[in-house]
Amino acid sequence: MLRLISATPSPYARKVRIALAEKRIPFELATEVPWDSTTATPRHNPLEKLPVLIFEDGSSVYESRYILEVIEARWPEPPMVPADPWERLAARKVEVITDGICDALVLLFWEGHRAPEHQSAEWIARQRRKVDGGLRALAETAGDRERVVGNQFGLADIATGTVLRYLDVRFPEHPWRSEYPNLVGLSARLEARPSFAATVPVPQVISDKVV
Ligand SMILES: N[C@@H](CCC(=O)N[C@@H](CS(=O)(=O)O)C(=O)NCC(=O)O)C(=O)O
């Protein structure tokens, strides 16, 4: 059975879970805390990050953007990327923006776990700027259209929905809803999809000291 190593808050893993659900690909979900020494992640990814997709023969693929490309190649129907090459590139650019926002949110999360005297105000300000700049670009890209790119549900919508809900988990006080009303409606429509409803992110308990 195909297996996905995931974590309850992970926006990167949620993209993969949603794509697998939209394509009706059966898989076993292995929920882990990648920050704890108990995780199996390093056995399947030398970069020690989840998500990791593990095939029946034990081979594994990692890095959510790459995992999604492998899924698209192996199970092309229904497509999660547009057929038009330029629209496909536009969808992948949306994923670059949303992953970049998530990366900044992860860095903010861990900076907040350092002792106050060891936290860098400059570093926090820099990551917050990336979140705000990314959201602004995302809102401009989405506009008031039904779909973020093109007219079919796909990668750009998955990436957009996952980063917005992840914001609520990691940065609940962020004013994105008041700043970008167009993203509020988009998020609500996406969260109503069964593949989103089945993968709502929640925080996890981390036992080990990480920073
Ligand atoms: N670029 C990677 C990022 C994945 C990532 O940062 N995963 C986190 C977990 S989560 O933040 O998504 O919940 C992780 O495994 N971190 C462990 C580590 O960085 O050692 C991807 O897109 O898959």
If you measure from the C-alpha of residue 183 to the centroid of ligand 1, how many angstroms do you get, rounded to a whole number?
A: 24
CA 64 to centroid of ligand 1, rounded, Å:
9
What are the helix (H) ranges across 48-199? Answer: 64-74, 85-111, 121-142, 155-170, 176-179, 181-191, 194-197
Query: 3: which DSSP letter?
Result: E
Residues of the chain with CATH 3.40.30.10: 2-74
Give the CATH fold of the 2-74 domain. Glutaredoxin (3.40.30)
Residue-wise pLDDT for 38-50, tens only, equals 999 999 999 999 9
CA dist., res. 202 & res. 33, Å (int): 12
Does the beta carbon of 201 lie inside 6 Å of ligand 1? Answer: no
Q: What are phi and psi of 194, to 5 degrees?
A: -55, -35
CATH class of segment(s) 85-193? mainly alpha
* Tens-place pLDDT, residues 57-110: 999 999 999 999 999 999 999 999 999 999 999 999 999 999 999 999 999 999
CA of 79 to the centre of ligand 1 (A): 25
169 — pLDDT class (breaks 50, 70, 90)? very high
Dist. CA 9–CA 202, nearest whole Å: 5
Q: How far is the CA of 50 from the centre of ligand 1 (A)?
A: 5
Per the document, the length of the chain is: 211
Q: Tell me, what DSSP letter sits at residue 8?
A: T
Quick: pLDDT tens for 75-87: 999 999 999 999 9
Instruction: Kindly give the number of the ligand 1 atom that is closest to the alpha carbon of 47.
Output: 20
Residue 152 sits at the vertex; the CA angle it makes with 11 and 54, to the nearest 5 degrees, is: 40
What is the residue with the minimal CA distance to atom 17 of ligand 1?
A: 49
Whether residue 123 contacts residue 114, with contact meaning beta carbons closer than 8 Å, is answered with: no
DSSP 84-100: SHHHHHHHHHHHHHHHH
Q: Is the CB of 154 under 6 A from ligand 1?
A: no
Q: Which helix (H) or strand (E) holds 62?
A: strand 60-62
**Is the interface score ipTM higher than 0.90?**
yes
* Residues forming CATH 1.20.1050.10 domain(s) in the chain: 85-193
